[in-house]
Structure 1
Amino acid sequence: MKRTLYLVRHAKAEDRASFQRDHDRELVPEGIMAAARIGRHLADQGIKPDFLISSTANRARDTGKVMAEQLHIDPEKMVLEPKLFDGGPKAYIAAINGVDQHCGSVMLFGHNPDISYFAEYLTHADVGSMSKGAVAIIEFEDLDWAAVSGRTGHLIDLISPKKMKES
């Protein structure tokens, strides 16, 4: 069974104010629109992930909610994983390895630099630094989620809001 992972870096958020915790930063209107545009683009391609996982940070969670709405998925079904905020790549692999084997596709919402490192770790492709709101699409052939690890995936596409504006 082929499995597909959609790694999504949160969309553009407000700058961190001196009194504000990084975890609590909100999406700016431009970020909300970019997340909606990417979500609609994926929906137009017939993409509808079986499972959604997000960091608990406001900007990642809200990116997930906006995209879920565009993908016609109940945003309340998204699972929040606190370790995806500042937990490093190990938190990302643990989140993916724990996905139910009946799920064929997963969308994970997280943060840089961890999400970019994770995409490169899984695929050994030169992803670079994923832009805000970007989606890396990775496929795994005949592999259970529990067996996903370094160099087991193939980068299928890297979609960014900037590229979508240009097309």
Structure 2
Amino acid sequence: MKKILYLVRHAKAEDRASFQRDHDRELVPEGIMAAARVGRHLAELGVKPGCLISSTANRARDTGKVMAEQLRIDPDKMVLEPKLFDGGPKAYIAAINGLNPDCESAMLFGHNPDISYFAEYLTHADVGSMSKGAVAIIEFEGLTWAEISGRTGRLVDLILPKKLKES
């Protein structure tokens, strides 16, 4: 059985202000539009993840909500995982390994540099630094979520918001 993981870096957010916690930064209009554009593109490809998991940071959570709406998935079904914010790669692997075995595809919303490192760790592909709103699509053959670890996945595609036509 094949598992598909969509790793999504949050879309463009407001710059950090001295009075504001990094966790509380919001998406800017450009980020909302880019997330919607990527979500529409994924919907056109027939993507329908069974599980959504996100960092609790506003910008990651809101990227997830915008994309879920485009994919016609109830955004309230998204699970928020606090450890995905500054928890490092161990938090990402723990989130994936803990997914419901019945879920065939999952979408995870997180932050750089961890999400880019995680994509490379899983696939050993040269992903580089994922741009804001980018989606790495990774397939795993014959593994459960609990069995996924380094170099067990194959990078199928890397979708970049700037490469998609604006509509």
- TM-score (structure 1 length as normaliser): 0.98
Query: How many residues matched?
Result: 166
Cα deviations by residue, 1:81-114 (Å, 9 ceiling, x for unpaired): 0000000000000000000110100000000000
User: In the alignment, does 2:62 pair up with 1:57?
Assistant: no
| CA distance in 1 between partners of 2:57 and 2:112 (Å) | 13
SS at 1:139 equivalent: strand
1:4-153 pair list within 5 angstroms: 4-153=4-153
Match for 2:84: what amino acid? Answer: L
Cα deviations by residue, 1:91-142 (Å, 9 ceiling, x for unpaired): 0000000001101000000000000000000000000000000000000000
| Structure 1 outlier segments of 4+, above 2 Å | none
| CA distance in 2 between partners of 1:106 and 1:161 (Å) | 20
Gap runs ≥5 in structure 2: none
Gap runs ≥5 in structure 1: none
Cα deviations by residue, 1:14-56 (Å, 9 ceiling, x for unpaired): 0000000000000000000000000000001111000000000
Match for 2:124: what amino acid? Answer: H
| CA distance in 1 between partners of 2:45 and 2:93 (Å) | 27
| CA distance in 2 between partners of 1:85 and 1:18 (Å) | 19
The Cα shift of 1:164 comes to: 1.1
Match for 2:37: what amino acid? Answer: R
SS at 1:42 equivalent: helix
Percent identity over paired residues: 86
| CA distance in 2 between partners of 1:12 and 1:5 (Å) | 22
SS at 2:157 equivalent: strand
Across the aligned residues of Structure 1 and Structure 2, the Cα RMSD in angstroms comes to 0.7
SS at 2:17 equivalent: coil
SS at 1:53 equivalent: strand
